[in-house]
Amino acid sequence: MALRFALMIDPVASDDRRESFDDAFTVVDPLGPALPLGELSAQRGDGVFESLGVVDGHAQEVGPHLDRLAHSAHLLDLPAPNAAQWRAAIARVAAEAGPGESVIKLILSRGIEEGSSPTAWVTLATAPENTRARTEGVRVVTLDRGYQLDVPGRAPWLLLGAKTLSYAVNMAAIREAKRRGADDAVFVTTDGYVLEAPTASVILRLGDRFVTPEPAAGILHGTTQRSLFAHLAQRGFSTVYEPVLLSDLRTADAAWLLSSVRLAAPISAVDGVEKTVDRDLTDELNAYLLSPRD
Ligand code: PLP
């Protein structure tokens, strides 16, 4: 993704009610050096982030992304983000986006080693090409996540519900999926439950029911999945959070990967077994996801 604009943020306290945050923003060269080597985000992946879709200059689902940023920060014992400051930063960066699809990333790092405050910045990049994934779909392989469904509750220090900067495992899973001839992976617990993809939520269609695994299962609560469930519920479908077995994924009438940038990518094969892609419904879901959403 080609970076086009970047803004460093001097994070203010969450209860700071100032009218303008302009003094706390610095525009930097998105392709130049901007972080000291002591940055804990770079050294340890110690921080949290969000990726927002931007369509024709409109940043999608800002509120839900900021809520999740605050949730992730809380899980990592980072200072609570000032929502008004982050909103102002997103508005400043979205103003540079122009027509078409872009991506805004929000990054909140623990800061410099032995420093006293977090480091934060926001970037704007052109969105990758996703047309093929949205129309023809993605072939997935299921990969063992290495723990049972009850682990997130037993070991909260694993930070399984936080969107941390430590995505090396997620990237390794995608590389493994590609080695196996697929496009992407779906993580499964050792006791056979579907979790999520390395960078997306999973939803299934079982007749008139749309189903996704419960966020308490140590997965991210996807902003795209939440928005789409609200839309589907309005259209009269039933939308449910429940444990999803690997066999449910295999036998579901249809399934999708959902994320803020790729939007709805139908799953066209699971572990080499073809799945039907519902092109009309998928087109409709993506038309909704591309419409301005707050
Ligand atoms: N799960 C993981 C692990 C992700 O990284 C993402 C997005 O990047 C999602 C789910 C989907 O979240 P959202 O729809 O908010 O982009």
Q: Do residues 117 and 142 both lie within one domain?
A: no
Task: Kindly state whether residue 185 falls inside one of the protein's structural domains.
Answer: yes
User: What is the model's pLDDT at position 116?
Assistant: 84
Alpha carbon of 219 to ligand 1 centroid (Å) = 9
Mean pLDDT of 96-106: 98
Kindly state whether residues 149 and 281 are assigned to the same domain. Answer: yes
The gap from C-alpha 102 to its chain's centroid, in whole angstroms, comes to 14
The SS3 of residue 231 is helix
Check if 196 has its Cβ closer than 6 Å to any atom of ligand 1.
yes
Residues 18, 147 share a domain: no
pLDDT at site 115: 85
**Residue pair 4/96 in contact by the 8 Å Cβ criterion:** yes
CATH number assigned to the domain comprising residue 169 = 3.20.10.10
pLDDT at 27: 98
Per-residue pLDDT for 112 more than 90?
yes
Nearest atom in ligand 1 to the alpha carbon of residue 261 is: 16
State which amino acid sits at residue 146.
Answer: G
Cα of 238 vs centre of ligand 1, distance in Å, is 22
213 pocket-lining for ligand 1 (C-beta < 6 Å):
no
Residue type, 74: H
223-234 and 279-290 helices, crossing angle to 10°: 110
Q: Is 201 in the pocket of ligand 1 (CB under 6 A)?
A: yes
Q: Is residue 294 part of a domain?
A: no
**Rg of the chain over all Cα atoms, to the nearest angstrom:** 19
Measure 86 CA to ligand 1 centroid, in angstroms: 19
Which bin fits 212, alpha (ψ -120 to 50), beta or left (φ > 0)? beta
The overall pTM is greater than 0.80: yes
Strand, helix or coil for residue 27: strand
176 and 40 co-located in one domain: no
Look at strands 273-274 and 238-241 and give their pairing: unpaired
pLDDT-derived band at 31 (thresholds 50, 70, 90) equals very high
pLDDT tens sequence across 208-260: 999 999 998 899 999 999 999 999 999 999 999 999 999 999 999 999 999 99
- ipTM given for this complex: 0.99
Q: Is 220 in the pocket of ligand 1 (CB under 6 A)?
A: yes
- Give the pLDDT mean for 47-72: 98
d(CA 104, CA 158): 26
pLDDT single digits (tens) 150-170: 999 999 999 999 999 999 999
The 3-state secondary structure of 159-203 reads CCCCCECCCHHHHHHHHHHHHCCCCEEEEECCCCEECCECCEEEE
In a domain, 164, yes or no: yes
CATH number at residue 83: 3.30.470.10
117 and 188 in a single domain? The answer is no
Evaluate: CB of 260 within 6 angstroms of ligand 1.
Answer: yes
- Nearest residue (CA) to ligand 1, atom 10: 200
Ligand 1 closest atom vs CA 167: 5
In terms of residue numbers, what domain contains 92?
3-126
35 lies in the same domain as 17: yes
Q: Is 109 in the pocket of ligand 1 (CB under 6 A)?
A: no
Establish whether residue 160 lines the binding site of ligand 1, counting it when its CB lies within 6 angstroms of any ligand atom: no
Phi/psi-derived region of residue 159, left when phi > 0, alpha when psi is between -120 and 50, beta in every other case: left
Main-chain dihedrals φ then ψ at residue 260, nearest 5 degrees: -60, -30
Angle between helices 83-94 and 62-75 (to 10 degrees): 130
Q: Which residues have C-beta within 8 Å of that of residue 269, sequence separation ≥ 6?
A: 139, 140, 182, 275
Residues 136, 258 within the same domain: yes
85 lines ligand 1 (CB under 6 A): no
Give the Cα separation of 226 and 60 in Å (integer): 13
Question: How many angstroms is it from 23 CA to the middle of ligand 1?
Answer: 32
